[in-house]
Amino acid sequence: RNTALQKASMNDIRIRTATAADVPAMLDIYAPYVTDTAVSFEYEVPSLQEFGGRVSRTLARYPWLAAEQNGKILGYAYASAFHPRKAYQWCAEASIYLAQNARGQGLGPLLYDRLEDLLKRQGVLLFYACIARPQKEDEFLTFASIRFHNRMGFHIAGEFPRCGFK
């Protein structure tokens, strides 16, 4: 199997703050989640300018991390405000996207562990992930995100049944 991430070379992975130079590679990773799945609730892939703006706006308050191996971006994770009201400032929502050929090889936990560590240092007490969950798996939406988040110690805190259609 040809994969972007080789388990034997996990030490080669560098988790760092994303930069403007990473935006095209990160958008390339994100695009198939928009066009080929129901993981993202966006209908159209954002422009490079829009996506770059998201990164810079996020970095003003929260971490946006890139996972890099041999100069190639394999995935990214970031936090954002869970809710805009002031009392929610002690919690954040996490998002993670991996290149299709880098999934299932241990990169997700590396990104999330670093993201959670940074958020704790910022005083964030709760870390949420809003995940699309199908009634039954199909080629557009699986239970992979649910399984990943369960392994990472998350548990279901609430559901919004049938709230998005794509």
* H-state helical runs in the chain: 23-35, 48-59, 107-121, 144-151
Looking at residue 10, what is its pLDDT?
A: 64
Looking at residue 6, what is its pLDDT?
A: 47
pLDDT digits (tens, 9 = 90+) for 80-107: 999 999 999 999 999 999 999 998 888 9
Name the CA radius of gyration of the chain, rounded: 16
Nearest Cα to Cα of residue 90 among 102, 82, 100: 82
pLDDT digits (tens, 9 = 90+) for 32-60: 999 998 889 999 999 999 999 999 999 99
pLDDT digits (tens, 9 = 90+) for 60-82: 999 999 999 999 999 999 999 99
